[in-house]
Structure 1
């Protein structure tokens, strides 16, 4: 409403100003033409009554006195020029008192000569008082040009401009009054509407899914709000029905999600257990003198994976506390090497520090972290021509860093913010819980997980945790 008021008065003021400017221009044009015709009539009368020969060089003698009378009678300055634009005589004394007499510019002479119909040219001069210079030919009785007449006409704009300013001022006052009235009216209307909507607002604020919501009484409401309130009351009925269905769906979804997470986490140790058994079966040689040592290593690997499954089952029994923090002093490079032994891929390179790196961490959880990161790297390099996976263990001050890098597909910019979200995955298999679990484990041990990736070139995941 305010905007419409301002725009309307701005348009009215603009149109009024434009209309006044047009009227001023038309008024000055008509007045100049009338002045010009009257002056030319007096000049013709003087030419007819003179005893001098009607020649251009006689003009100063013919109008020696008359030009001042003509200028005084009509209230305009008059100057006569020869046909070449040189001044002959003028009612403006300054022109002939000055050392250099001003001639008519050549462009005006050319335009005047080209103006076949009117033989007239008008030029507007912008000075402190706007004026116009009118040029036209003076002819003898046989219509032969004798001289060029210049009339200095001062535009009569001061009075009209004063009137225009007064009108615009009055319009501004009216606009201000209307604007203030619009503000008051808008305030009154807003108060009326908001008072009626207050009850509905309070009811909507109190609306909750876990309790019975009251409906709004429609008996005392105006017709304008009746439809809105009826829709709200209908929504309350639908909300109660939907709340019951939603609660049942949430319970079912929670059980399904728990089942998916348990299956995903149990599948992680099952895969290395299967690979260990297959590797043992393929490499078993009763005549090998180190068979007992190898058997012991395979047994330890299976026992560790079984312990991992047991830990997963225990952790999921109380998911809010997962993973259970059981710190023990570990030689990190040794545990990482142990976790990598279950993979058969030959493109996995492990570079560890020469000295041992001791840190307090849960053995099972550390194996889970490394296993998840390496499995992701393997899956990222499936379609790579020369897949390379590098695992590094570093000691940085009081921190331990484990990095797993690959030259696989990399992670797109779109997927980077979502990489640690549960159930997010770009693979055709898997539930997308691996990295979320790793992040949860690292945060439990006051650690962190970060990554850098370039699409088409590879990814580096780095987990960092304190030694103590």
Structure 2
């Protein structure tokens, strides 16, 4: 499992736990290594001390009044016949004496003389003794000394070899001290230390869990606040800046960067809104100019034709004058309707929340239509809501007009208007069996200026959408080409 998949809080928590775990393992490893080093140093130093003490004891005995024999190699078995056992017992160590050629002279271990393998030192050990020189810590003199270290049956043995000298410092024998490294005491000490480490580790682990939980929560709390702010940031609304106290330097930098971005975003939003308004007014001006030019052309032609053909003595002058006037009046009415349409679209609906019966107002809006194929139904006789009376009538009439204009000539038309409630909302549907909306035009239905009709400015549905959304409602539609369209208006009762 990849660490990147975990949250920052989880990663901080795991990092703290791993840090404590690795520290405890490292401390334990160092303790074990230190134990081994200390154990080796202890046994090496202990063997040296015993060897020096035993050699000093032997030298005192050789030069003492109890020795009546001449001090030379061949007399050593006689000199130490009984004393070697006392020395070995005092120093708690086995003692073997060899002559300078490596032949066993005497041993404190009973039966060693009968062991053929132990009666003579091999050539390697003899060469090592003669070729290895070490410093004596007591006399600070260099001396021949060799230590053979090996393991048997899982136990470590050291066997030291050095020379015994007479009064004239002449070597007369080789002394061998076999030494078994017993680590019972140090092992117990190590086990006790590791137990304490384990107890301390558990205590520190619990503390680390608590600290990691608090620390991760403290760090991610600020990041969560910043994350929530970033997610809720919108270009079309005013965004609040982040205000967090007592944060780290890194979090403060991030907060300041976000707040700076909000300032820049607001400036960009203002500029964008200004640009969009200017662009909208330019488009609106183009549309108004285009729509006004349409009736002006026939008006101009009518006036010019009237000028050419005007004859005061013509007996049909009155009928011709009436015809010219009728044409001009029709075009003037067209221009008036254009002006009214643009005025209604540009004018934001006033949010006059009148308490009214939606069923009654919808019926009233449908009274202006004489088409017998318009059918109105309602689940309730009375649905009370707060809405502007005039704006609701405008919504209904525009949607019904849109359905009427969508009816093909070769089809029996049907328009069904239905009013009901759902939760705390009013639901108004207008369904027709007209020509429907093609797939490529569905996204453009509510855009200003969009129309599929040969006449009109395409502002009706855009105005309806504007009104409904002003009252925190929504308008949607479903349409199937050549089968019909159903508009659904939903707005809250309150």
* TM-score normalized by the length of structure 1: 0.47
Structure exhibiting the larger radius of gyration computed from Cα positions:
2
